[in-house]
Amino acid sequence: MNKKQSNHLFPLLIIGVAFFIIGFGVGINGIMVPILERAFSLSKSMSYLVLTATFSAFLIFGRPSGIVIQRIGYKRSMVIALIIMSLGMLLFIPSAKMSTSMQGFYLFLAASFVGGMGNTLLQAAVNPYVTICGPIEKAAQRMCVMGIMNKSAWYLGPIFLSLFIDVTNPVLDQAYIPFGIAAGVITLLAVLIYFISLPEVKAAGEEEEAQHPDSGNAEVPASGEKISLWQYPHLILGAIALFIYVGVETLPMASAIDFANAIGLDNPAQYSGIVSIGLVIGYILSIFLLQVMRQNNALILFILIALSASFCLILLPARQAIYCLGVLGFSHSLMWGAIWALAIDKLGKKTKSGASLLVTAIVGGAILPLLFGFILDAVRGGEASPLPDDFQMAYWIFIPCYLYILYYALAGHKVGLAKNK
């Protein structure tokens, strides 16, 4: 390990804890879908509004987050983001106390939106930090390490919440305990980051172009005199790929419990865990795979695995098909880091702005699960509850999504770059 790598080791450990907090919040949101559906007698599409409330914050505050980071830096942005997330957790407490009326549900949505605001700023800070704190060609590998922390929390979040709330017969009277504990831990991390030394980092060409804005720095082929992010087609296409990716990454975990319930499996809450287990296994394998394979080739391989798993999820008997959600989790492990690295590469002084655009794309986690909920309501016909076949019909949504990501991995990430070489 060289000196530069060792200098970044401790900051990356701290960022890893931040990724854990992000995953914990998303994991709790995933299990809140069936809990709120039963507590408030909601339709499937209404229950998925919890995810919509969380992820819509990325659309509204994604670009402003980039401005905040440019003005106050990564470290202070992380502190503010964690404080906002803690506030969101605290807002769940009065929401739970109003669980006998729809006002409580709407307050849950508001609390999810506040948490999403903090998550937006935190994602806008930690993702580019990890991407540019070392060689860009190893960015996906660093993201895999962060992903282990993130998706472990996805698995632990629902388990933690289920200790206080019964998923099959939810009573929200004790909800103040888990949400209060979560708010305290997040606040503690904010205090820790505030007092530690967390160095600011810059992307290749970012500092030089800031000092010589008219120089046309040859080290940054995609920058030159471009003044708008829309002049970077590989970034725009990458944002679309991330929009789709976050949707398909969120959907298996968000729907696993409902799918298990429809099948009639015992202890349905545990099936959300198979997605996280698949993700963590994929992250561990990817760390070693990326030592011998270029990250772009590995991305193509994992997309093909996802397509195969999607067809199996749709066509196999439901009791076997549900385990394909874990294979989808496995295939997702490499995608975030690899797509992010391809999209943010060669942006120079536009790196922070480009990162904020990519964070905006996380709103896909709101749109695709909500669309899935509408499809599910449509295909179930007059049935009171969706059948396993209804879920499998709705899961066709995966196929066109993975095909677009495959296009970006094969050709989309090169659009607009070749002429700058």
CB 96 within 8 A of CB 182: no
What per-residue confidence (pLDDT) applies to 209? 47
| Confidence check: pLDDT of 218 > 50 | no
Residue 85 has a pLDDT of 92
Query: Tell me, what's the pLDDT at 205?
Result: 52
Q: Report d(CA 65, CA 221) in Å as an integer.
A: 26
Q: Is the pLDDT of residue 229 over 80?
A: no
Q: What is the largest CA-CA distance in the chain?
A: 66
Q: How many residues can be counted in the chain? A: 421
Examine the pLDDT at 292 and tell me if it is beyond 70: yes
Q: How confident is the model at residue 131 (pLDDT cuts 50, 70, 90)?
A: confident
Task: Answer left, alpha or beta for residue 65, where phi above 0 means left and psi between -120 and 50 means alpha.
Answer: alpha
Question: Residue 128: exposed, middle, or buried by beta-carbon count in 10 A (0-12, 13-18, 19+)?
Answer: buried
pTM for the model stands at 0.73
Split at pLDDT 50, 70, 90, the class of 418 is low
Asked if residue 404 lies in contact with residue 206, where contact means CB atoms within 8 angstroms, the answer is no
Structural domains of the chain ordered from first start: 7-197+228-420 (1.20.1250.20)
Task: Please spell the DSSP secondary structure of 28-69, one letter per residue.
Answer: HHHHHHHHHHHHTT--HHHHTHHHHHHHHHHHHHHHHHHHHH
Under DSSP, is residue 102 helix (H, G, I), strand (E, B) or coil?
helix
Among 65-74, 94-103, 310-319, name the one with the lowest average pLDDT: 94-103
Q: In 191-261, which ranges are E strands? A: none
Percent residues over pLDDT 70 in the chain: 86
CA distances from 323 to 34, 156, 320, 390 (A): 19, 19, 6, 17
Residue 327 has pLDDT above 90, yes or no: yes
d(CA 63, CA 59): 8
pLDDT band at 215 (very low <50, low <70, confident <90, very high): very low
Are 277 and 329 spatial neighbours (Cβ–Cβ below 8 Å)?
yes
DSSP 413: G
Which whole number is the average pLDDT over 320-347? 88
Is residue 157 predicted with pLDDT exceeding 50?
yes
**The pLDDT value given to residue 405:** 96
**What is the average pLDDT value for the chain, to the nearest integer?**
80
What is the model's pLDDT at position 366?
A: 75
CA end-to-end span of the chain, whole Å? 32
Amino acid residing at 289: L
Distance CA 11, CA 72 (A): 18
260-285, pLDDT tens digit by residue? Answer: 888 888 777 677 778 878 888 988 89
- Per the CB < 8 A criterion, the answer to whether 322 and 260 are in contact is yes
pLDDT for 307: 96
pLDDT recorded at residue 7 = 58
**pLDDT value at residue 221:** 43
pLDDT at 158: 75
